[in-house]
Chain A
Amino acid sequence: MAEPRLLDLMFSRIMRGLVESGRAPHYAELAPGLGLTVEDSRRLLGELMQAYPIGWLHPETDYVASFPPLNNLPTQYRITVRGEQKWFAQCGFEATSVTWLFPETTVRIEAPCLDCGDPVRVDMRDGRLITVDPPSIVGHLNYGFGPSRGRPSYL
């Protein structure tokens, strides 16, 4: 098992990389900054994702697919900050947490409604709801939490 300090460092580099660029850095890019060989960085990524199981790698690869609250793989939950749309949230619930990655900044969540395709728009700032359009927007959990749900956690 890797040192907690190294896991923290890789976690922080990935999260900050996502925030800064909209994409998760590859383990090979992270290796020099972590003082690791590329292969050791790949192994560390595997351990990191076990320690942070609410995210996941794309199946059969070492590519970060999801690193909540953001997603490296595009979803319908588009995130716009300072007029720039280059982020995606893991799901509609995690989308409401993205505000904490951009302090003192308005974060816009936009998504098409899965029923009708019409827009759902929420603006948040430091955790506060600023705009909710339409005002009737609700969150919905289609399968209960926990291991017995038998469905991917993001559904």
Chain B
Amino acid sequence: MNLFRSEEHARRWSQFNPASEEGFIALPDLADFFGTETRQHMLDANYLSVWYPRRAAERRAVLERIGKTSPFWLGTPAPA
């Protein structure tokens, strides 16, 4: 889960996984993905019990909105 100067730089990275072509995300989308409502409550006294459990559904909603609905992004098993 890294930041690169460009897609070309990521592809030239010595550890680039050839199966990760769909792993690119534009920076504004990334800021949305990691800027959901629960993230804005990380300093709240009840973050762990109240906000953290909502995180998974929220992440999925963002991924669906930005069109990243493959198992690679959603974390679901790939079709056999």
* Residues from chain B with Cβ under 8 Å of A101 in the complex: 42-43
Across-interface contacts of B42 in A (CB, < 8 A): 15, 69, 97, 100-101
- A interface residues, how many (CB within 8 angstroms): 57
Are B27 and A139 in contact (CB-based, < 8 A)?
Answer: yes
B62 at the interface (CB under 8 A from A): no
Q: A4-B49, A12-B47 are in contact. Are A139 and B2 (CB under 8 A)?
A: yes
B40 nearest CB neighbor, chain A only = A100
A4, B53: Cα distance in complex, Å = 13
B26 touches A138 (CB 8 A): yes
Q: Is the CB of B39 within 8 A of A138?
A: no
Residues of chain A whose beta carbon lies under 8 Å from any beta carbon of chain B? 4-5, 7-9, 11-12, 15-16, 19, 48, 51-52, 69, 77, 91-97, 99-101, 109, 111, 113-116, 118, 120, 122, 124, 127-129, 132, 134, 136-149, 153-155
Q: Interface of B with A (CB < 8 Å)?
A: 1-7, 9-10, 12-13, 15-17, 20, 23-31, 33-35, 39-40, 42-49, 52, 70-78
Q: List 28 A-B contacts (CB under 8 A).
A: A15-B43, A51-B52, A77-B3, A93-B30, A99-B35, A113-B3, A113-B5, A115-B4, A116-B9, A122-B27, A127-B35, A129-B27, A134-B5, A138-B24, A139-B30, A140-B1, A140-B7, A140-B10, A141-B20, A141-B24, A142-B15, A143-B17, A143-B20, A144-B23, A145-B72, A146-B77, A148-B78, A155-B1
